[in-house]
Amino acid sequence: LMALRPSSLGLLGVIKVATQAVVAFVVLPSCVDCWYYGTSRPVWTMGNHLLYNVFSVGGGGAGADLYGTEPWTFYAKNLILNFNLVAVLACMSGTMLLLAHVARWRVPPQPPPSATDPGHQPGRERGSGMAPMELLFVVILPFSWTLWMFTSLSHKEERFLTMLYPLLCFAAALAADLALAMFESIVGLLCCQARRPSPITRTLTNLSALSLVLGTSALSVSRSAALYYHFRAPLRLYEKLYYDVVAAETPPAGGVCLGKEWYRFPSSFFLPDVPGEDGLRSMPLLWLNSSFDGQLPRPFDPGPHGTSRLPPHMNDRNLREASRYSQEGDCSFLVDLHLFSQQEPPPDPGIWSVAWCEAFLDTEASPFPWRSFWLPFGISDKRNSFGKYCIWRRAASGGETTSR
């Protein structure tokens, strides 16, 4: 609405910008996807995302709700966990702007009008026709609106919010700046400083800013370290598997098999090349029947039209497809996670021997906040429970163990 004003873009300007946005973010991506997927009609991935997740088109009318629903607090908990004080400040940015407008705290300084721009109005942003406060509201509005939209959906995934992270950081920085301005103003009023804040007030404000930065940084480092130390096992083990197969004189004939841990497989780049009928090929990745009862992924069909042809044995209701499963006899390696609370038995020791194991956090048996944040010197590890993430190798004849 602000952009429609004659002093801003105006109606024709808004139509022009909207047309450019549609071409840049709808038409061009659709053409690129159509080319790479080899389809005969345009493919708009964001449109499909909205149809499936927002309007429940597909999945028998259930849409993405087939994959689980979460309460409205899901995103709030995730943002506070991963962004700590930054998320809180970002959510307060709109309120802080309103308070700043009422109390006339500082806003980003404006450059003085130049001689070459005699028509520039002080207090208005060049080229926008808006005051700084109005412009800041327009900038942070998409963050609040999009967060509200995703929160209102029943099916929630943390990755949906990645598009908001840049705006989240900007909104948090804005709120922090305004909060420091409020702090400086309050201290100035209490100390009867009529005009400029005293050096003591400046020092207190700078110390508050430094404490905020150091506090958020410490929490962020602790959170990142927890994600690394608690859940690094799959990446480390698949790396060992890769180099072990590459260094082997006789490559294994079978594939790498996963059951319920299929979703933690990182990437096919961790599968080494092994000899095949037509030369080198990636080591097969195979699925085993397990407690997971949903639909497992499958590779694209070969050939030039493999990405555009709908493969057989697919459904849009996340139903189990028996054709995905392989037999244990086709496996040379088996990957699984074993926790104390699980009921599935470990692999048969007469057929499989442990090759590598790494500790993996048992989230249900570990209390908060120790499972979410890491402290050195074993402080958090002593309070957490860990299972074993292992790769088993098919045992050699005679039952030799290959444990390392």
pLDDT tens sequence across 255-286: 999 999 999 999 999 999 888 777 788 899 99
Neighbours of 166 (CB within 10 A): 10
% of residues, the chain, pLDDT over 70: 86
- Taking Cα atoms as reference points, which of 102, 122, 106 lies closest to residue 114? 122
Residues 159/164/165/169 CA torsion (nearest 10 deg): -160
- The CA-CA-CA angle for residues 267, 268, 269, to 5°, reads 85
Mean pLDDT value of segment 324-352: 89
381 or 277, greater pLDDT: 381
Mean pLDDT value of segment 372-383: 94
pLDDT at 104: 66
Which three-class secondary structure string do you get for the chain?
CCCCCCCCCHHHHHHHHHHHHHHHHHHHHHHHHHHHHCCCCCCCHHHHHHHHHCCCCCHHHCHHHHHCCCCCHHHHHHHHHHHCHHHHHHHHHHHHHHHHHHHCCCCCCCCCCCCCCCCCCCCCCCCCCCCHHHHHHHHHHHHHHHHHHHHHCCCCCHHHHHHHHHHHHHHHHHHHHHHHHHHHHHHHHHCCCCCCCCHHHHHHHHHHHHHHHHHHHHHHHHHHHHHHHHHCHHHHHHHHHHHHHHHCCCCCCCEEEECCCHHHCCCHHHCCEEEECCEEEECCEEECCCCCCCCCCCCCCCCCCCCCCCCCCCCCCCCCCHHHECCHHHEEEEEEEECCCCCCCCCCCCCEEEEEEEEEECHHHCCCCCCCCCCCCCCCHHHCCEEEEEEEEECCCCCCCCCC
pLDDT exceeds 60 at position 125: no
pLDDT exceeds 70 at position 111: no
Mean pLDDT value of segment 339-368: 90
179 class by beta-carbon count within 10 Å (0-12 exposed, 13-18 middle, 19+ buried): buried
pLDDT single digits (tens) 86-96? 999 999 998 88
Residue with tokens 């908060």: 368
Mean pLDDT value of segment 200-227: 92
1 class by beta-carbon count within 10 Å (0-12 exposed, 13-18 middle, 19+ buried): exposed
pLDDT at 106: 54
pLDDT exceeds 70 at position 205: yes
C-alpha to C-alpha distance for 178 and 163, rounded to whole angstroms: 24
Q: 68: left (phi > 0), else alpha (psi -120 to 50), else beta?
A: left
pLDDT at 211: 94
What is the pTM (predicted TM-score) of this model?
Answer: 0.81
% of residues, the chain, pLDDT over 90: 44
